[in-house]
Structure 1
Amino acid sequence: MTTIRQHAQEYLAMRRRLGFQLTTFGQKLMSFVDYLERTGATTLTTDAALAWATSTERSTDQVHWSRRLMVVRIFARHLQALVPATEIPPDDALPHHYRRVTPHLFTPGELQAILTATDALRPAFRAGTWHHLIALLAVTGMRTSEACGLDRADVDLDDGVLTIRNSKFDKSRQVAVHPSTTTALRAYAALRDEHHPRTRSEAFFLNTRGTRVDAHNLSHSSVPLLQATGITTPAGRRRPRLHDLRHSFTVATLLTWYADGADVQARLPLLSTYLGHADPKSTYWYLSGSPELLALAATRLEHSLGERL
């Protein structure tokens, strides 16, 4: 008889073959399976799903609970076809309220403060790596994992094109960069080769050991750096993260388009492609992510409607 664990493993393997990465989803699903085994349950029930979803010692956030329950609900719909006794948690159990945390939008002054803070890092090569990595994130809006994942062969300094391979949603794309960016990257490449001339790593950005910069530790490692800048946030807001450079780039781009009188609606799909968004609606969110952008969009809409009346 096939166990729930085996069904879960087969389900995850099937979806990954279809191109889904399921990193967080897979972790949560297997955590639920572990819970079922610890409690001796042999059938997926709504009561068990609710008990697991709400058994989070570090959080009592109902949105967090509902997201955990959603993982079980999705799997249960699949499992019920194989195991009819499976119960699918109803949609109104821990109703899901979508909430996206407002990012910190770095000002030019704050970005300069971060880059200045990198210069104080030691040894000098570490300072150079952080400086150029953060600058690249700021001027391209790349995900931190994408920048760390760049290989030397992916960085075409002659044509000014970066190739991002197998990123989120298993997609690849090319990102054109400004000549000033290629000049900076060329300077970093010379610094890297000077300090690690015999490294076996194909990575473009290296740490002091001569291996690839670990994207998973980047957010943790950047905390002291961001704190050193003295950047503050209003009470109740999340502290700034390196990932917020992506948001800052996008908002700055949209603001520039509005200031230039460009057709933002027509250009948004291009920006979506540049950022590697799977769906343009992910880019549309930035219009509401910044009060200044929202005001500009509202003014543009009001003007458009006025012309039609």
Structure 2
Amino acid sequence: MTADLAIAWATQTERDSSDEVYQARRLDTVRIFARHLQALEPATEIPPEDVLSRRYRRIPPYPYSPDEVAALMSAAGGLRPGIRAATWRTLIGVLAVTGMRSGEACHLGHDDVDLQAGTLVIADSKFGKSRLLFLHPSTIIELRAYARVRDQMVPEPRASTFLVNSRGRPLDKYNIQHTFAALITAAGIQTPPGRRAPRLHDLRHVFAVATMLDWYRDGDNVQARLPVLSTWLGHVDPKSTYWYICKPSRNCWPWPPAGSSNSRTGGQPHD
């Protein structure tokens, strides 16, 4: 086995991926095997360590405008059966106004949603962290409306989660991507040339950036408040939250979009 053969295998993937980080991980697997094989066959070549870059490059998220969030919720209203439409409309809305992860929304239990106190508990989420989120009154109204519809359409759910699918079971955080892709098309949202298709997770990025922009407009000390946003998003520390900030010269975020509103008030999807 030669180094050239190993590199050719690592870079010629079945899906023709051009991601060097992915290719480098494939080459790592070969490198480990080559070290073992060299003990049996001295002619075996071990691929060099610096052939492929391992530098992780985050793909820019899609910056949904308030109008696009509303279009997504409208498209969700056309799903069938009715409980599916109600659940998806609520899922998109709650992600837009809280910035929680889609998996966290799928796992929300009945006891985690306190509509009297206006709070959500994200329990034992990523990195084993738990946190408390506070809801705007308009968001509470929408969640109460969903709970009534859910209880009428699925009086005996098979799940203890707040959001349920058409069979009364929890939403699958992996399968929901297929439905969301269809909603993107139905909402008329176009994927920018050369960019990845918009994701449900991008609503989290929009929330974070919009919140910081609101702070700037209000004249707040954003650096001092960044730990608050980190805690809200469930990050380990503020360093993780810095990934949500792009320099204007990189053109990652064409914000603020026309007609933008204060995301912290819950106004985007519910007004």
Indicate the TM-score class for this superposition, using the shorter chain for normalisation: 0.7 to 0.9
Name the counterpart of 2:16.
Answer: 59
Asked if 1 retains the 8 angstrom alpha-carbon contact of 2:216 and 2:222, the reply is yes
**How much does 1:169 deviate?**
2.1
Q: Structure 1 258/129 Cα, relative in aligned 2: closer, same or farther at 3 Å?
A: same
Matched, 1:229 2:187: yes
Matched, 1:141 2:104: no
The correspondence of residues 281-296 of structure 1 with structure 2, limited to 5 A, is 281-288=239-246, 289-290=252-253, 292=255
Name the counterpart of 1:23.
Answer: none
Which secondary structure does the structure 2 equivalent of 1:216 belong to?
coil
Aligned equivalents of 2:125, 2:46: Cα separation in 1: 32
Aligned equivalents of 2:58, 2:173: Cα separation in 1: 22
Asked if 1 retains the 8 angstrom alpha-carbon contact of 2:63 and 2:255, the reply is no
Aligned equivalents of 1:126, 1:134: Cα separation in 2: 12
Name the counterpart of 2:263.
Answer: none
- Give the 4+ runs in structure 1 shifted more than 3 A: 45-55, 64-67, 69-73, 87-91
Q: Structure 1 91/291 Cα, relative in aligned 2: closer, same or farther at 3 Å?
A: farther
Please report the TM-score for the alignment, with normalisation by the length of structure 1.
Answer: 0.70
Matched, 1:162 2:120: yes
Q: Structure 1 190/46 Cα, relative in aligned 2: closer, same or farther at 3 Å?
A: farther
Residue 64 of structure 2 is aligned with which of 93, 96, 106? 106
Name the counterpart of 1:5.
Answer: none
Aligned equivalents of 1:90, 1:196: Cα separation in 2: 58
Structural RMSD (CA): 3.0
Residue identity opposite 1:98 in structure 2: Y
Aligned equivalents of 2:186, 2:158: Cα separation in 1: 33
Aligned equivalents of 2:254, 2:225: Cα separation in 1: 20
**How much does 1:142 deviate?**
0.9
Asked if 2 retains the 8 angstrom alpha-carbon contact of 1:49 and 1:69, the reply is no
* Structure with greater contact order relative to length (CA < 8 Å, sep ≥ 6): 2
Structure 1 alignment gaps of length 5 or more: 1-40, 294-309
Name the counterpart of 2:171.
Answer: 213
**How much does 1:94 deviate?**
1.3
Asked if 2 retains the 8 angstrom alpha-carbon contact of 1:65 and 1:94, the reply is no
Number of equivalenced pairs? 245
Aligned equivalents of 1:161, 1:47: Cα separation in 2: 57
Structure 2 alignment gaps of length 5 or more: 40-44, 247-251, 257-271
**How much does 1:89 deviate?**
6.6
> How big is each residue's C-alpha offset from its partner over 1:187-240, in whole Å with a ceiling of 9 and x where there is no partner?
111111111112231111011111111111011111111101111232112221
Aligned equivalents of 1:122, 1:149: Cα separation in 2: 22
Which secondary structure does the structure 2 equivalent of 1:215 belong to?
coil
Asked if 2 retains the 8 angstrom alpha-carbon contact of 1:49 and 1:72, the reply is no
Quick check: which one's helix share is greater?
1
Please report the TM-score for the alignment, with normalisation by the length of structure 2.
Answer: 0.79
Aligned equivalents of 1:67, 1:170: Cα separation in 2: 29
Q: Structure 1 88/266 Cα, relative in aligned 2: closer, same or farther at 3 Å?
A: farther
Residue identity opposite 1:111 in structure 2: V
Name the counterpart of 1:276.
Answer: 234
Residue identity opposite 1:121 in structure 2: L
**How much does 1:95 deviate?**
2.2
The correspondence of residues 1-309 of structure 1 with structure 2, limited to 5 A, is 53-54=10-11, 56-69=13-26, 72=29, 91-288=49-246, 289-290=252-253, 292=255
Q: Structure 1 164/221 Cα, relative in aligned 2: closer, same or farther at 3 Å?
A: same
Aligned equivalents of 1:205, 1:115: Cα separation in 2: 15
